[in-house]
């Protein structure tokens, strides 16, 4: 009932590996050096050395440490099977919400989420606390958490916010120096848009990926940690919704391609104002699409 000793196990195995590179009776480096090597505190190193001595792999007397015998495979400590990485929890959680169409104002059970996502409860608590800053979840008065979005209001506010951020991004692109990599990327995007436009009848579902790439390219010009953080969530949400709303998909995508091309035109002409206007028109369309996809869910 306490913190796991994964650190110790990992360090122990690493030290074993290091021992294999040493000659028999060879001198083992100082505790501090070992700690540095393995990226762990001296406390852990000493625990490892204790065990190595116990197992008669090394001798250890004061600062004299020597290799007694060659380490064997069975000397290694088994690692507790690594659970799913907590890293992409955000992706998985938002995906779950959108895929299963979890309605607004659903109580979230940390215990249950912990099971579905195979993530310890305290990691989830931390994660949810972070999401609450985006207004996606909140604490319930009687304890626990609650999923707030995606209501119509949320979608509207998110779209508006996206509009604000992306208008700014477009303006910045227009003012980027000629040798900025964004220009090559845009030229390539133009080709890909034209290619898809030509094959729209069969390949229209390919647009989703292209769309994401387009917006990412535009936004990559803005070097701002706050905006970047939000973009991650925004693009995820829009992306998922489009994937699920299949009504009029071909027509919608064809129209979006033209809108994108207009933005590229304006940008390459270095006309910031025109680009911003084109971008805003495009984002208004996106907003409408997002809202109508919500309406379909309501009815279905």
Q: Which does 145 bind (CB under 5 to 8 A by kind): DNA, a second copy, none?
A: DNA
Would you state the structure tokens that stand for residue 85, as one six-digit string?
Answer: 């990485």
Kindly state whether residue 36 participates in binding a second copy, applying the rule CB under 8 A: no
Binding footprint of DNA on the chain (CB under 7 A): 1-9, 30-33, 40-44, 46-47, 61-63, 65, 107-112, 120-122, 125, 139, 142-145
Would you state the structure tokens that stand for residue 68, as one six-digit string?
Answer: 């007694």
Q: How far is CA 168 from CA 154, 186, 218, 233, 279, in A?
A: 21, 17, 10, 18, 10
Residue 78: cis peptide before it, omega within 30 degrees of 0: no
Kindly state whether residue 164 participates in binding a second copy, applying the rule CB under 8 A: yes
| Closer residue to a second copy (CB): 67 or 221 | 221
CB of 142 to DNA, least distance (A): 4
| Closer residue to a second copy (CB): 65 or 215 | 215
| Closer residue to DNA (CB): 9 or 239 | 9
Length of the chain: 300
Kindly state whether residue 87 participates in binding a second copy, applying the rule CB under 8 A: no
Tally of helices (H runs) and strands (E runs) in the chain: 13, 5
- Cβ atoms of residues 174 and 272 within 8 Å: yes
CA–CA dist 147, 285 (Å, integer): 27
Kindly state whether residue 127 participates in binding a second copy, applying the rule CB under 8 A: yes
CA–CA dist 125, 242 (Å, integer): 29
| Closer residue to DNA (CB): 6 or 91 | 6
CA–CA dist 124, 232 (Å, integer): 19
Q: Which of 88, 229, 248, 258 lies at the binding interface for a second copy (CB under 8 A)? A: 229
Kindly state whether residue 134 participates in binding a second copy, applying the rule CB under 8 A: yes
- Cβ atoms of residues 133 and 272 within 8 Å: no
Contact footprint for a second copy (CB under 8 A): 39-41, 122, 125-127, 129-130, 132-135, 141-142, 154, 157-158, 160-161, 164-165, 168, 223-227, 229-230
């Amino acid at each position: 009932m306490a913190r796991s000793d994964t650190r110790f196990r990992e360090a122990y195995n690493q030290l074993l590996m290091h021992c294999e590179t040493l000659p028999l009776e060879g001198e083992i480096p100082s505790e501090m050096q070992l700690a540095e090597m393995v990226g762990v505190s001296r406390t852990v190193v000493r625990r490892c050395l204790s065990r190595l001595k116990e197992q008669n792999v090394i001798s250890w007397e004061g600062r004299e440490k020597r290799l007694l015998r060659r380490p064997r495979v069975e000397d290694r400590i088994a690692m507790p099977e690594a659970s799913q990485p907590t890293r992409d929890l955000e992706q998985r959680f938002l995906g779950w919400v959108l895929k299963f169409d979890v309605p607004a104002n659903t109580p979230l059970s940390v215990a249950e989420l912990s099971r579905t996502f195979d993530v310890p409860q305290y990691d989830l608590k931390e994660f949810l606390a972070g999401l609450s800053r985006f207004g996606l979840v909140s604490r319930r008065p009687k304890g626990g958490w609650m999923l707030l979005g995606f209501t119509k209001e949320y979608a509207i506010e998110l779209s508006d916010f996206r509009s604000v951020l992306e208008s700014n991004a477009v303006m910045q692109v227009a003012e980027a120096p000629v040798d900025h990599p964004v220009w090559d990327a845009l030229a390539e995007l133009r080709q890909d848009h034209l290619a898809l436009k030509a094959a729209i009848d069969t390949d229209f579902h390919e647009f989703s990926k292209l769309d994401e790439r387009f917006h990412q390219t535009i936004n990559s010009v803005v070097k701002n940690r706050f905006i970047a953080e939000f973009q991650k969530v925004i693009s995820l949400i829009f992306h998922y919704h489009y994937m699920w709303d299949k009504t009029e998909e071909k027509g919608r995508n064809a129209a979006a391609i033209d809108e994108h091309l207009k933005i590229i035109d304006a940008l390459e002409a270095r006309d910031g104002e025109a680009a911003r206007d084109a971008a805003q028109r495009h984002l208004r369309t996106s907003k409408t699409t997002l809202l109508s996809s919500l309406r379909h869910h309501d009815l279905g």
